Structure 1
Amino acid sequence: MGSKLLRGTFILTLGTLISKVLGILYVIPFYAIIGGDEPALLYNFGYVPYQLFLSIATAGIPLAVAKYIAKYNAMEEYAVGRRLFKTGVYLMIFSGIVCFLAMYGLAPTLARMQQLEGGYSLADGIQVIRAVSFALLIIPVMSLLRGFFQGYNSMGPSAVSQVLEQVVRIMFLLAGTFIVMYVLDGNVVTAISIATFSAFVGAFASLLLLLWYFYKRKPGLDRMLLEDRGTVKISIPTLYKDIILSAIPFIIVGSATSLYQLIDQFTLGRVLEYIGITPELVNSYVAIINFDVQKLIMIPGTLAIAFSMALVPLVTGAYVRKEYAQVKRQLNDVFQILLFLTIPACFGIAMLARPLFTVFFSPSDNGTALLQLFAPIAILFSLFSVSAAVLQGIDEQRFTVLGLLLGLLAKSVLQMPLIMLFEAKGSIIATGIGYAVSCIFMLLIIKKYVRFSFKVILRRTVLFFGMTALMGLVVIALYIMMSNFVSTDRKIPALMITIVCGGVGAIFYGYMAFKLHLSDKLFGPRGTRLREKLRIR
């Protein structure tokens, strides 16, 4: 695997993984403070429209800027990349202010459009939506700075700023909700409003760190301008046009998860009530699918996000230089490593769904069943993210939009009949079919335009599934044995089962990879050196 891609992916994966793990772990004390599932519904009530407005506010411009900076740097036109960045800053400030005002002002309409469960009033929903809207003032500019560094293949600032943003957000969230609930003796709505406002506080801390990185590295970036070829002259209007046209696919693809969640938010509760499910069970299903499960399945999805962020500028640079063989090598490596890691991770989550759900939330038969069904869909989400990044890197981003729209159409058409057939599980099945449709379409487009063969990847995928099945036999046997002595319905014992079974499964899978010399083929000399250090022949 290319050293730049491997290093960049590792740095971004580490930063994103730490951020996501923190984003899951805080749920345990947060639930304890606010009192369980129903307040979490109100929290998610504000976050779903916020995610959509955030996608509109950033409009895919940070990744578009990263792509174009990489493109012009490959042409040694460094000044054009700098002008793109400056132009993007003004655009992000403007869009952030406009989207903040729109979300704040439209809060009553947004609250009425959604189905607010748990006995909360319309005014409660409006308050929560408005509290989270303030983050829109900061995050667009912050995201642009991350895109700027990624365009220079510098992933460190993005990774560190993600971790800082999450740490500050969680500290403010937990401290704020605790003070409201137990020191000031306030109500849940105020506590949830503080929790959603924490997005602004975390983003502000991240922005300050990124500005520090920028001014620290500015002398080196300025020296690159002295080596500028100066043969490309682009007007400001043309720059704006290029950024916006390139950003449209990024915004649409970046909104994929939010759009799928919105379909669930608008339809899941209503259809379940229509077929006679009790209001209490409806509330539980909606909270599990739109909040609980989403948190857990994003752990394997982290790798796909990191690959996507590292892949776009690298593929763009190689494609601009017409290094098509290099592009094919990068794609071959990325798809294989992605599947090598996500397949066992997703099925591992499915196998340990019961103790995982107990550790992070509370013992739940429904939560366990829904997580078991949803976990493998993270494989499709990972493929979707990386396939979209590839198409954007080779300037065929129009197909990413079409692929997503086909998936959303499949989800929308199948949502109601599948829920009527399988209750809440039907919504998850519809999501899986939607992502599968998108993935198949985009992979066929990649095959056509890059002239890329998936034969080796398909053979390796069969091998990865076989290795995962063997790992599963070991994990399930150990899980059954431990559950005879340790309860999966109590947090500490469930955590112990998760760590032991998950750890043994990971070691067994890793041993098989080393024994079959897959580590050598996937990770090159690094994998070989590690295998030899472990004395596995």
Structure 2
Amino acid sequence: MGDSKFLRGTMIMSLSTFLSKFLGMIYVFPFVALVGNQGMALYQYGYLPYTLLLSLATLGVPMAVSKFISKYNALGDYRTGQRLFQSGLIFMTITGFIAFILLFMMAPTIAGWIISDPDDLSGNALSDVVFTIRMVSVALLIIPAMAVIRGYFQGFQSMGPTAVSQVVEQIVRIIFILSMAYSILYIWDGELGTAVGFATFGAFVGGIGALAVLLYYWKKRKHLINKKIEESTVDHNISLPSMYKELISYALPISFVGLAIPLFQLVDLFSFNNALINSGAFIQGEAETAFGAYSGSAHKLILIPVALATAMSITLIPTITNSFTNKDHKLLQSQITQTYQIILFLSIPAAVGLSILSYPSFGVLFGFEDVSVGGYILRYYAPVAIFFSLFSVTAAILQGMNLQKFAVVSLTTGVVLKLSLNYWFVFIMGPVGSIMATYIGYAAAITINVWAIGKYAKYDYTLLVKRFGLIAVLVAVMGIAVWIVQGGAMVLFPLDSWFNAFLVLSFSVFTGGVLYLAASMKTGLAGKVLGHRFSILKTGDKS
């Protein structure tokens, strides 16, 4: 029964996390249509510092609290978990308040780092950046404390409260963002800075919605939890400092690895615009449009194949822990191979296809106002999806093997490289320079992770290299076909309207999808990669 409850909880959490992330990506399409890429850049100016401070304020708390409470509940000591919950609520409320004060007071300084020339009226005003940062900072008052509540429920293997609250948070936030942006700009005839500032306030409004859900579940289950506490058979009487020391040991490595994308984006936040402007090739407004297209629009778009790939592979990670712990080398090899294969099988064709179809994709989803710069950036940025997917999964494998320290070392190496190269690459190469710095940083991080997995899991990459070669050949064939179809379609339907771009995109995606699926089935690759549940796909080579 316990296993059934665990599997059900894992499925609920996986589904809700994917749905929450997916909602967090697709709202960008209508939002950019409302505020443009320059407005998207302003949104990122506020949201990126907020995301980093939120990660630092929570430090992987939901997972860590869940693990701590689950451990002591299993020992029959419900009182220790309750003490952690009560003190954790107070501690995280204080932490959130400090983070709020820090971001609110630092807003003018951060804005000054982003906007190098306040007198350049072609871009966002310094005051608008300050306003946006301060509006989003308010969310820090409630989000960290919510992390403790979610972790507490998860410690009782109750995933419903976290799952429902995550989805409600995103839905409420998105409705607020889009309705406020539309109302301020098109009903009240307000300024762009005001619209974007109120849009970032959606993080707080969404948090209120999530908190309401969690309080509802708490009221509903409080008597059951109190009954468990009264029935405790053990009380370890652990001191609060000892509790928090154990909690941090769980949380720190995972929270640091989770900062990968925000840290890379933070480097871009403080160097991208300045490098472009100082190169003399861009003015403030043009640099901000490029930054919005890069850090906001294109970035959200490439996260879609990342989410699809990691969602299918992440279910294998808990079993890796058991295999490694039980020293079942053969099963561990099979699980790691399967995880790698799924990532490569899904992310490579998606990234390559998105790169080839960058211009019609950007035009259909974000409009044609900035399609020249957006399509150009997306063409080079799309393959980064493969790197994002590989890093997240290799880091998860290392965590499953209790080798988090290598994931931390690899991320640190990647961020240092990104920080060292980013400004000069952008200065020399323009917007693409930042993408190249990201490639190098992630490539270094992935190399370290792959090496550590090979060494400590004694993993043999021979079969994986063979499968990668086959995937690469099939993707190359698919890519050529998509490129030919796109070229032919653009002769009939020039990219000068949304409808034409939609037709070009539809024909090309259909061709690429059908060809890749058919080729992977013919060679037997699809069945091998996706496993026995998809044995119907094993129609080709049986080797």
Could you say whether these structures have the same fold, taking a TM-score greater than 0.5 normalized by the shorter chain as the test? yes
Bigger shift: residues 505-514 or 231-240: 231-240
Q: Secondary structure at the match of 1:247?
A: helix
Whether contact under 8 Å (2:406, 2:449) holds in the other structure is yes
Q: Distance in 1 between matches of 2:487 and 2:133?
A: 44
Match of 1:267 in 2: 271
Bigger shift: residues 379-388 or 446-455: 446-455
Kindly indicate whether residue 282 of structure 2 is the aligned counterpart of residue 281 of structure 1: no
Q: Distance in 1 between matches of 2:361 and 2:10?
A: 27
Distance 1:531 1:392, change over 3 A: closer
Q: Which of 330, 339, 350 is the equivalent residue of 1:345?
A: 350
Q: Which amino acid is 1:93 matched to?
A: T
Aligned Cα RMSD in Å? Answer: 3.7
Kindly indicate whether residue 442 of structure 2 is the aligned counterpart of residue 422 of structure 1: no
Distance 1:479 1:76, change over 3 A: farther
Q: Secondary structure at the match of 2:492?
A: coil
Q: Distance in 1 between matches of 2:85 and 2:310?
A: 22
Kindly indicate whether residue 474 of structure 2 is the aligned counterpart of residue 467 of structure 1: yes
Q: Which amino acid is 1:294 matched to?
A: H
Deviation sequence 1:306-342 (CA, Å, 0-9, x none): 4687566555566566666655443332222122211
Q: Distance in 2 between matches of 1:18 and 1:26?
A: 12
CA drift at 1:365 = 2.4
Whether contact under 8 Å (1:71, 1:320) holds in the other structure is no
Match of 1:331 in 2: 336
Bigger shift: residues 5-14 or 133-142: 5-14
Q: Distance in 2 between matches of 1:224 and 1:126?
A: 48
CA drift at 1:4 = 10
Q: Secondary structure at the match of 2:531?
A: helix
Match of 1:369 in 2: 376
Match of 1:514 in 2: 521
Match of 1:98 in 2: 98
Match of 2:131 in 1: 127
Whether contact under 8 Å (1:304, 1:385) holds in the other structure is no
Q: Distance in 2 between matches of 1:504 and 1:84?
A: 55
Whether contact under 8 Å (1:311, 1:390) holds in the other structure is no
Deviation sequence 1:38-74 (CA, Å, 0-9, x none): 222221111111111111111122233345567778x
Deviation sequence 1:362-402 (CA, Å, 0-9, x none): 33222212111111111111111122222233332222221
Match of 1:251 in 2: 255
Q: Secondary structure at the match of 1:484?
A: helix
Q: Which of 360, 363, 368 is the equivalent residue of 2:365?
A: 360
Q: Secondary structure at the match of 2:464?
A: helix
Deviation sequence 1:434-479 (CA, Å, 0-9, x none): 0000110122122222223333222222222222222223322322
Distance 1:349 1:385, change over 3 A: same
Q: Percent identity?
A: 38
Query: Gaps (5+ residues) in structure 2?
Result: none
CA drift at 1:26 = 2.9
Q: Which amino acid is 1:115 matched to?
A: I
Q: Which amino acid is 2:37 matched to?
A: D
Kindly indicate whether residue 442 of structure 2 is the aligned counterpart of residue 435 of structure 1: yes
Match of 2:208 in 1: 204
CA drift at 1:91 = 3.9
Distance 1:522 1:153, change over 3 A: farther
Distance 1:98 1:213, change over 3 A: same
Q: Distance in 2 between matches of 1:4 and 1:454?
A: 35
CA drift at 1:196 = 0.3
Match of 1:169 in 2: 173
Match of 2:187 in 1: 183
Whether contact under 8 Å (2:77, 2:236) holds in the other structure is no
Whether contact under 8 Å (1:304, 1:386) holds in the other structure is no
CA drift at 1:130 = 0.9
Match runs of 1:228-239 below 5 Å? 235-239=239-243
Bigger shift: residues 425-434 or 283-292: 283-292
Match of 1:27 in 2: 28
Kindly indicate whether residue 38 of structure 2 is the aligned counterpart of residue 38 of structure 1: yes
Whether contact under 8 Å (1:71, 1:317) holds in the other structure is no
Whether contact under 8 Å (2:337, 2:464) holds in the other structure is yes
Distance 1:10 1:287, change over 3 A: same
Q: Secondary structure at the match of 2:387?
A: helix
CA drift at 1:76 = 6.4
CA drift at 1:424 = 1.7
Q: Distance in 2 between matches of 1:150 and 1:311?
A: 20
Bigger shift: residues 362-371 or 149-158: 149-158
Q: Which amino acid is 1:177 matched to?
A: A
CA drift at 1:7 = 8.0
Deviation sequence 1:206-244 (CA, Å, 0-9, x none): 333345456667788889989999698854432210211
Bigger shift: residues 291-300 or 314-323: 314-323
CA drift at 1:170 = 1.4
Q: Distance in 1 between matches of 2:364 and 2:315?
A: 32
Match of 1:495 in 2: 502
Q: Distance in 2 between matches of 1:135 and 1:348?
A: 37
Q: Distance in 2 between matches of 1:308 and 1:68?
A: 26
Q: Which of 375, 378, 398 is the equivalent residue of 1:391?
A: 398
Q: Distance in 2 between matches of 1:105 and 1:391?
A: 38
Match of 1:113 in 2: 113
Match runs of 1:477-488 below 5 Å? 477-488=484-495
Q: Distance in 1 between matches of 2:306 and 2:42?
A: 25
